[in-house]
Amino acid sequence: MGTGVLFDSTLCIGCQECEAGCAAANDLPWNDEMVNQAKASDLKFTYVKTVDDDKFMRHLCMHCEDPSCVSVCPVGALTKTADGPVVYDADKCMGCRYCMVACPFGVPKYEWTSLKPRIRKCTGCPERIAKGEPTACSEACPTGATITGEREAMLAEANRRIQENPDGYYPHVFGSTEVGGTTTLFLSSVPFETFGLRASYPDDPLPMLTHRALSKIPSVVTVGFVLLGGIWWITNRRDVVAAAEADKRKEEE
């Protein structure tokens, strides 16, 4: 069963230790510039968003159960592991950046200033997960706001917290159903739109929506050929009749 990460924003104090832990695990720079950078980039895979000075929400790869970035990658540079993380192989990447367009959460970033650019994003710490260890951000969190475990166990824990403290939580686990479910799950005391997350993500995986649309193409093409064939026959028949009438008039003359 796949591993999941649960972030409970009610326990977050905005210390940014998760950001520092992620930077250390991925050999990313961690300095004053990165501390003050309130957005994800090719040099910062996760950040803590602050609202009203006392509400915090993390931004990181959601590691979708059925990831659209994987489905659109034409060379298999992005893959979903059995353990949960969506991982990236730079040696296979051809730089098309389809994944950046396909991701509903705007996660993948591109190394625009590099001479050999790569796609960069939260890795989900696959090496740590494979050894049964928590993600680097979970290990670094001093309050337990971010924890790692089996996804179903994390989802059950999130629902338990909501049931035991309904006044303290917004009654939904973000990632439980969005785009078919995600490996990263969020809890919050306020609606997730407060932090800029959309409330209108479909419950179906995005690759499934694409499949449904593309599956109709053969029928549309077939109908189109029939219509075009009919138009050609009518036009051609009209020309044949006109030619026959012209020949008949010549004979009568």
What is the H or E stretch that residue 243 is in? helix 217-252
With beta carbons less than 8 A apart as the criterion, state whether 110 and 120 touch: yes
- Residues 202-252: pLDDT tens digits? 999 988 655 444 444 454 445 455 566 556 556 665 665 556 565 656 655
Question: What is the domain partition of the chain in residue ranges?
Answer: 3-203, 216-252
Q: Tokens standing for 64?
A: 């979708």
N-terminal to C-terminal alpha carbon distance within the chain: 89
CATH 3.30.70.20 matches 3-203: yes
With beta carbons less than 8 A apart as the criterion, state whether 122 and 19 touch: no
Is the four-CA dihedral 140, 141, 143, 149 of positive or negative sign?
negative
Q: What is the pLDDT along the chain (253 residues), one digit of tens a residue?
A: 699 999 999 999 999 999 999 999 999 999 999 999 999 999 999 999 999 999 999 999 999 999 999 999 999 999 999 999 999 999 999 999 999 999 999 999 999 999 999 999 999 999 999 999 999 999 999 999 999 999 999 999 999 999 999 999 999 999 999 999 999 999 999 999 999 999 889 999 988 655 444 444 454 445 455 566 556 556 665 665 556 565 656 655 5
Residue 109 φ/ψ, nearest 5 degrees: -120, 160
* CA distances (Å), origin 38, targets 55, 58, 76, 122: 14, 10, 31, 15
How many CA atoms lie less than 13 Å away from 108 in the CB half-sphere? 28
